[in-house]
Structure 1
């Protein structure tokens, strides 16, 4: 599939962006070195690990069809890369390059895509769509795990110290749940996820319709959040949970 390249004005900007999104949402990754020359063509390259080889998603304006997610990708006239129905597998470093007559023009533009994802345990039956999922669980202890998948080529500490990224579990009024003794909240990280913040509690009758929310802020601005609402399903011996993913899409330079 060939994507048309239109004449657009040059954009002067930074050479690295951080983008934060919840899984299931659509995202547009900016290319801040777009050229005004109509003959320019765009290449987008993807890399998840700093030690592994890169994969070309778009080459000189032509979408590569041999990638697993090619159907979810598209190229905009301003050279932005669109990704539909983002999954936690889409996190990583995306690099935009501009070419004229097969010669690269200007520097690389790097965009780090960070994906927020929530899982629940224990769970039995479930159904999901791009924007929500439902799971029936038995009464008792439940653990919600909020995870931020980030490119491993950068230090997770830098996301905290330099970018001011923070994950919190809050109630429906925005109060940090760490202040409530009925919730056990633990933070950790691993090779693939810069942040993992788990909330463990015992479900009570009065938890019906109660909302808990995992929210991600970047430089004190809300970027994306995932809400968890307890719902009784039929008899009170069953509960269901519903994830409603809402996000505010902001682009910040590093």
Structure 2
């Protein structure tokens, strides 16, 4: 009986550690790829810029944390140092976010070689859309561009990249996070029989795909992958179909910052 109680207690401790970020101790930021994002350092000191270290960790991409900024100085050995900047309030700016930027970021403050307070952690969740089309004669090098034409089938895959260790089911049931494909009027495309909408997931992504056969009247039509939390739009990616001599799908994104 004692062993069972010990196991139950251990389970509660693990669950509590996973939910720490959701409960408000850590920050969660949702952003679409291609946008710029600002990650706040909630434990910043006054005149903190030269005292700040930002580290990045992603369990699926790195075996250990990577120092992006050390005491206010950017680490030029990191592959994305040109897209990073440190603000006077010690927040971290990331330009032109990619799906590979998802993960946890920690802000640490130092004075006289001693850490001050605890790390302030921010989880960055990135929404990204990858199109494909049966009419493409060759694969496109850009995730926002693919050859299309009327009468062909096109599939748009909307993916939310996350490194919290929590399942998509948890995000939906407990945090009210939902991925939707909607039209220009904001109507859920699941209500239209011409669209096939499928949801899936893996270790680090929640995925929702849209598949449809293109019609002549789809020229200039917009579809939007929308991420909501408790029915409030957090970020979205818009795709507009264009038929022309050079046929492509154009991508733009918008995030409603809270």
TM-score, structure 1 normalization: 0.83
Kindly state the Cα deviation for residue 137 of structure 1 after the two structures are TM-superposed.
1.9
List runs of 5+ in structure 2 lacking aligned partners. Answer: 1-23
> Structure 1: how far apart are the matches of 2:173 and 2:50?
37
Per the alignment, residue 244 of structure 2 pairs with 233
2:43 to 33, 56, 63: 33
Distance in 2, matches of 1:166 and 1:196, equals: 10
Separation (CA, whole Å) in 2 of partners of 1:169 and 1:30 = 30
Instruction: Name the CA distance, whole Å, in 2 between partners of 1:150 and 1:180.
Output: 29
1:105-254 matched pairs, under 5 angstroms: 105-122=116-133, 123=136, 124=138, 133-139=144-150, 140-193=152-205, 195-234=206-245, 239-250=247-258
Q: Which moved more, 1:137-146 or 1:64-73?
A: 137-146
Tell me which of the two structures has the higher relative contact order, counting C-alpha pairs closer than 8 angstroms and 6 or more residues apart.
1
SS at match of 1:137: coil
**Aligned residue pairs, count:** 230
Q: Which moved more, 1:76-85 or 1:50-59?
A: 50-59
Give yes or no for the alignment of 1:18 onto 2:20: no
**Post-superposition CA distance 1:178-206 (Å, at most 9, x none):** 0111111000011231x100000100112
Range with greater deviation from structure 2 (22-31 or 34-43): 34-43
Give yes or no for contact 2:129–2:144 (8 Å, CA) kept in 1: no
Q: Which has the higher strand share?
A: 1
Q: Deviations over 1:157-194 (max 9, x none)?
A: 3322333211100111111000111111000011231x
Separation in 2, partners of 1:85, 1:100:
32
Determine the structure 1 residue equivalent to 2:13: none
Structure 1 spans left out of the alignment, 5+ residues: 1-13
- Residue 105 of structure 1 deviates from its aligned partner by 1.0
User: Conserved in 2, the CA contact under 8 Å of 1:152 and 1:191?
Assistant: no
In the alignment, which residue of structure 2 is the partner of 1:55?
Answer: 66
Matched residues in 2 for 1:150 and 1:55: separation?
17
CA root-mean-square deviation: 2.2
Q: For the Cα contact (< 8 Å) 2:175–2:229, is it kept in 1?
A: yes
SS in 2 for 1:246: strand
| Structure-2-length-normalised TM-score | 0.82
Cα distance in 2 for partners of 1:40, 1:64 equals 14
